Amino acid sequence: MRAQVVIIGGGPAGLLLGQLLHRRGIEAVVLERKTRDYVLGRIRAGVLESGLVALLEEAGVANRLRAEGFVHDGTRIAAGGEIFHVDFKALTGKPVIVYGQTEMTRDLYDARAATGARTVFEVDHVAIHDADGDAPFVTYAQSGAEHRIDCDFVAGCDGFHGISRQAIPLNLRREYEKTYPFGWLGVLSRTPPVDEELIYANSERGFALCSMRNDNLSRYYIQCALSDHPEDWTDAAFWAELRRRLPEEIAARLATGPSIEKSIAPLRSFVTEPMRWGRLFLCGDAAHIVPPTGAKGLNLAASDVHYLYHALAQFYEERDREGIERYSERALLRVWKAERFSWWFSSLLHRYPDQNPFDLKMQQAELAFLRDNPAQQRAFAENYVGLPY
Ligand code: APR
Ligand code: PHB
């Protein structure tokens, strides 16, 4: 079998790249380890920057998002019993769109199926060969049979636990990592959102976030201990703890109900460099992880896709390798800025076990500076709505 591009991983990064390439007449095969239903069962964040929305438009998959997504012109931040508003639209001219990543992934799968493009599910033992030469190929097993695809390029879109990153020799790879001493306990419930906007809360008892999927589907998170298990948290205990971490007027109107999903995610910052080795490109979570505070994970995958898509189009349409040569450098410049923002926003809102009274004062002063200073608000808003590609 032959393809111009083999995309390893059918998550949002791989699917978006595949769809954009298809529209430009570049043929890509997607290899996915799981089933479509498994991929669509994952609950992830749901805040889309305008850069990602533009890519989805270009890929021809923005219709439902336009109809069903919520336009958010700002966000609210609660601390010390008070709450303030940051107006993205006034500060940057741009909103964000709240639309579940699961729904976006579903739209991409539907669009892919409609094009007849090849997606191979439930693949095993995926291996990348000769990525540093001129004729790379990918091998995999499916239903016990071995397969080989010869290609021009390989896009490693297989997430943090994928194999693509490991295909780059260790002596050429440098990894940077920070783990955080807490996790996020998330609950999805069929209840109306507590507010029109997202609320990020810093409280004495730890961080809390009020988010949403639609008019009758809410997503809430609270900071928890890494040793906690979702089973340890009854719904009643979750709602009680969430209420304690929100300003009274918000807590008073929180609608609660049975959870339909409950999970704990650890927080991590991670980057691998470089993001290209010969004809292999890393894209999305395969190359970097951010803590979820600020919802940059998906949006960062999208900016990688943007740079890679343009690099491949430039190669096939103009026989120009410039975009390919500079892919890693361009993608990483933006990756590190989003890493900084996600790390900073996390540090602003969480309780750290080793925080001393001075550290707490610094956090309060940082929050007050954000509340009171228009330049700081603008810097925050520019990062939140997404830095330019
Ligand atoms: N072979 C084939 N597919 C694989 C392999 C493998 N060896 N390993 C992992 N995969 C698949 C996973 O099953 C998953 O569907 O690759 C896909 C990677 O998808 P994500 O983990 O969603 O990563 P990405 O597409 O980069 O999306 C980034 O989505 O996952 C969130 O937090 C993430 O919001 C961020 C965004
Ligand atoms: C979510 O809706 O799941 C969400 C929103 C914003 C974040 C993180 C997660 O910063």
Positive or negative torsion for Cα 216, 217, 220, 226: positive
pTM: 0.97
CATH number for the 180-267+352-385 domain, one of 3.10.290.10, 3.40.50.2000, 3.80.10.10, 3.30.9.10?
3.30.9.10
DSSP string, 74-138: EEEEEETTEEEEEEHHHHHS--EEE--HHHHHHHHHHHHHHHT--EE-S-EEEEEE-TTSSS-EE
Return d(Cα 287, Cα 164) in angstroms, integer.
9
Q: Is 184 exposed, middle or buried (0-12, 13-18, 19+ CB in 10 A)?
A: buried
- How many alpha carbons fall within 13 Å on the CB side of residue 149? 27
Return d(Cα 68, Cα 261) in angstroms, integer.
22
Return d(Cα 99, Cα 365) in angstroms, integer.
33
Q: What angle do CA 51, 378, 221 make, to 5 degrees?
A: 70
Return d(Cα 326, Cα 276) in angstroms, integer.
9
Return d(Cα 5, Cα 15) in angstroms, integer.
13
Pocket test for ligand 1, best of 7, 16, 17, 33 (most atoms within 8 A of CB): 33
Residue 186 CA, ligand 2 centroid: distance in Å: 10
Contacts of 367 (CB under 8 A, 6+ apart): 77, 79, 80, 202, 348
Three-state DSSP at 17 gives helix
Residues 15 and 107 sit within 8 Å (Cβ to Cβ): no
pLDDT in tens, the chain (389 residues): 999 999 999 999 999 999 999 999 999 999 999 999 999 988 888 899 999 999 999 999 999 999 999 999 999 999 998 999 999 999 999 999 999 999 999 999 999 999 999 999 999 999 999 999 999 999 999 999 999 999 999 999 999 999 999 999 999 999 999 999 999 999 999 999 999 999 999 999 999 999 999 999 999 999 999 999 999 999 999 999 999 999 999 999 999 999 999 999 999 999 999 999 999 999 999 999 999 999 999 999 999 999 999 999 999 999 999 999 999 999 999 999 999 999 999 999 999 999 999 999 999 999 999 999 999 999 999 999 999 99
Pocket test for ligand 2, best of 42, 98, 219 (most atoms within 8 A of CB): 219
Residues 300 and 292 sit within 8 Å (Cβ to Cβ): no
Q: Is 72 marked active-site?
A: yes
Question: How is the chain split into domains, by residue range?
Answer: 5-72+95-177+268-345, 180-267+352-385
CATH topology of domain 5-72+95-177+268-345: FAD/NAD(P)-binding domain (3.50.50)
Return d(Cα 246, Cα 260) in angstroms, integer.
22
Q: Is 296 marked active-site?
A: yes
Cis peptide before 95 (omega within 30 of 0): no
pLDDT at position 81 is: 87
Select which of 22, 99, 109, 296 is catalytic: 296
Read off the amino acid at residue 68: E
